[in-house]
Structure 1
Amino acid sequence: MSKAISTILGGALLLTSVASAAQAGGLERNGYNWDLLFDQDRFASEAGVIYVMPDRKIKNAVDTDPRDGLGANGIGGGSTSTHETPNYTVPRFGAKVGLTPDADCLASYSQPWGVHTNPGADWVGANQNIETDIRSNDYGLTCSYKFDVGKGQLRAIGGVSYQAISGYKNRLVVGPAAFGPAAALFDGQGKLDLEADGVGWRIGAAYEIPEIAFRASLIYNAEIDLGQINGTVDLTGLPPMSTGRLAPFANRITDVYGTATMPQSLEFKLQTGIAPDWLAFGSVKWVDWSVLNVVSFCPTSTKGIVSCGPTSPVLLTTLDLMFQDGWTVAAGIGHKFNEQWSGSAQLSWDRGTSTGLTTQTDTYLLSGGVSYAPSKNVELRLGGAVGMLTAGSYGPTSCPKTGGCGNDVTYDFGDDFVGALSLSGKVKF
């Protein structure tokens, strides 16, 4: 691959990462990215960080569940609008080594999944969510082997990942107004903490013609079975109770367990040189987010006695997601300005994964980036993106749970802004 195309490609790959982090369907935070595996140098390492600024605003909120009182304080108080999504950062690192002229391996660290919503405790939907924060760490090893085929090379790809998930959700369980004189001592909130891990694998193939920077790749990432999710439900924000479903758990911390699977995905990427110093690229990605619907949590003490599910008699709490599959389509173009500078631009669309229980609707994004190579061994990249999070609403949704899901609050959200910045550096030789 010529130095010109290599430099242009660096800026193009930057846009793939910044767009993925900013669109974030389902629990996606930065997804998977194995592009460094294709670097033509014997050794290449890359580190970067993406800063995302979503501005999702909730409005017209109505508390529709009188069982915990009405409003954030249980007697009708609280705002009907709030900001839901704080800014977040996504780091990544990779190091690729050419073991032989035909065999390459990439060790990588990323945070593929995650979500952080923080509407706070002072809105009328506090019984649905005060703060939710899910994080992930993925440690991967991906290798490939090349064969000469026709004018180019066919590359077989395979790899494994160890993935760890952790997080929490905090919400209003019982309005403090119901506590009488004890309201000064208890806030009525409950918190679910969870952690889990699992191992996954990937397989794929690519066909490359380096002289014209042509590459077509298809990579399948298998689902990751998290096995048993371990956690706790903290209801120390409730006073002791003598009756009711929560009486055995009030004013204490209870060990809980559940099960979940992180989704499989399939991504096709295509790039090619189209004229001297010009590169076109695009991708289509499918993610099986529908595998996450209602995640149930039951007391660990009941494991092996009664099954845990959305309608289990020992169910303590749930994470109601009910995602639909995600699709992302992107296309862009890159150009080399001189021996050191190149730039690229990309348009992308992400189909929202929400079916009524989240604010993750369709996202449209325009991304741009520049790449600066002060020497043949070092490359610096800076990128940015602006986009629109499309409008929608939250409310009652059909789900495998008695009484359905989304019966706690209703609200709307409009077309909102999202922005992102990315900075990365690459060393190769």
Structure 2
Amino acid sequence: MAVTTSTFCFDPGQYVFESGVTYVAPDRTLKNVRDTQTGVNAIQGGNLNNRATSVGETESYFVPRIGVKARLVEGVDCVADYSQPWGAHTKPGSNWAGANQNIETKVNSHNYGLTCSYKFDLGPGQARIIGGGFYQEVDGFKERLVIDPVQAGLGTLTGVGRLDLEGDGYGWRIGAAYEIPEYALRASLVYNSQVKLDDITGTLDLRQVGQTLENVYGSAAMPDSIEMKIQSGIAPDWLAFGSVKWTDWSQLQKVRFLPCRDYH
């Protein structure tokens, strides 16, 4: 959740500060899980159907945000903000039938943005042109059971592999907003570009499988999005408002990575 730059645009103050924290407590339970890849090898992980078939998957998390707006000259405002637009945390653990797919996965992000707007009169209200850029850092890890240590005879090793990745990139945003103060009418439309993470680096740790710790690299793109918000006064002291946001998740289906020794 990012600081809402379009909301900042409408604030009449010369200097504005906003901060907050959102607590999210998702509740997702996987039921009737069955391991269909039962081969004792590094791809299938062993037969795990003797483990739990129902497990809670999701973890609670906090989403902080902070932003500062300043009016540079009459009609021109700029917003500097920090947010965490992307994130995920699942932790079903190792004692379930799908441990060869996921034990724990976590994704973190940090977004640093600068957005400016120019205001001018248009019809009965005022319009704004919005534009800016941002820098994003994304990191995360995934642990899964590569192979059942008992079935594979690994002794004291756990059979768990861990992948750690991190990358960064830049993006831009553009949009427009319109306001008619007499009716408390505000509307905005903002597009955020994708962020190409062209130089993802990290490690693949297979030491608990009897192998090595290896450096890896890859690339991905955080998806672009477009968001529309609108509010209007409907009676004294009453507002109606709503928003809709579209994100192109097709841009982020998989993150492919290779050992650095294969880099050319």
Is the 8 Å Cα contact of residues 32 and 112 (structure 1) preserved in structure 2? no
| Structure-1 separation of matches of 2:20 and 2:3 | 14
Identity %: 54
Matched, 1:40 2:12: yes
Match of 1:70 among 14, 34, 47: 47
Give the Å deviation of 1:294.
Answer: 2.3
Q: How does 1:28-427 map to 2 (within 5 A)?
A: 30=1, 33-34=4-5, 35-67=7-39, 68-71=45-48, 76-180=49-153, 182-183=154-155, 185-239=156-210, 250=211, 252-304=212-264
What runs of 5+ residues in structure 2 fail to find an aligned partner?
A: 40-44
Give the Å deviation of 1:38.
Answer: 2.2
Amino acid at match of 1:282: G
Q: Secondary structure at the match of 2:216?
A: strand
Amino acid at match of 1:111: Q
Is the 8 Å Cα contact of residues 48 and 93 (structure 1) preserved in structure 2? yes
Structure-1 residue corresponding to 2:42: none
Cα deviation per residue 1:99-125 (whole Å; 9 max; x = unaligned)?
122011111000000100000011111
Is the 8 Å Cα contact of residues 175 and 188 (structure 1) preserved in structure 2? yes
Is the 8 Å Cα contact of residues 118 and 130 (structure 1) preserved in structure 2? yes
Cα deviation per residue 1:238-291 (whole Å; 9 max; x = unaligned)?
12xxxxxxxxxx2x1111111100011011111111221111111121100111
Seen in structure 2, the aligned counterparts of structure 1 residues 224 and 96 have a Cα distance that, compared at 3 Å, is: same
| Structure-2 separation of matches of 1:199 and 1:231 | 20
Superposition CA RMSD, Å: 1.2
Q: Secondary structure at the match of 1:290?
A: helix
Is the 8 Å Cα contact of residues 206 and 213 (structure 2) preserved in structure 1? yes
Runs in 1 of length 4+ with deviation above 3 angstroms? none
Is the 8 Å Cα contact of residues 3 and 67 (structure 2) preserved in structure 1? no
Structure-2 residue corresponding to 1:406: none
Cα deviation per residue 1:176-197 (whole Å; 9 max; x = unaligned)?
02332x42x2010000000000
TM-score (norm 1): 0.59
Q: Secondary structure at the match of 1:79?
A: coil
Cα deviation per residue 1:17-42 (whole Å; 9 max; x = unaligned)?
xxxxxxxxxxxxx2563222321111
Is the 8 Å Cα contact of residues 69 and 177 (structure 1) preserved in structure 2? no
Give the Å deviation of 1:55.
Answer: 1.2
Bigger RCO (CA 8 Å, 6+ sep): 1
Q: Secondary structure at the match of 1:62?
A: coil
| Structure-2 separation of matches of 1:154 and 1:175 | 62
Is the 8 Å Cα contact of residues 167 and 195 (structure 1) preserved in structure 2? yes
Amino acid at match of 2:187: A
| Structure-2 separation of matches of 1:256 and 1:173 | 17
Between structures 1 and 2, the one with greater strand share: 2
Give the Å deviation of 1:215.
Answer: 1.4
Q: Secondary structure at the match of 2:18?
A: strand
Q: Secondary structure at the match of 1:177?
A: helix
| Structure-2 separation of matches of 1:298 and 1:80 | 33
Is the 8 Å Cα contact of residues 151 and 209 (structure 1) preserved in structure 2? yes
What runs of 5+ residues in structure 1 fail to find an aligned partner?
A: 1-29, 240-249, 305-429
Amino acid at match of 2:196: D
Q: Secondary structure at the match of 1:61?
A: coil
| Structure-2 separation of matches of 1:36 and 1:49 | 17
Amino acid at match of 2:85: P
TM-score (norm 2): 0.94
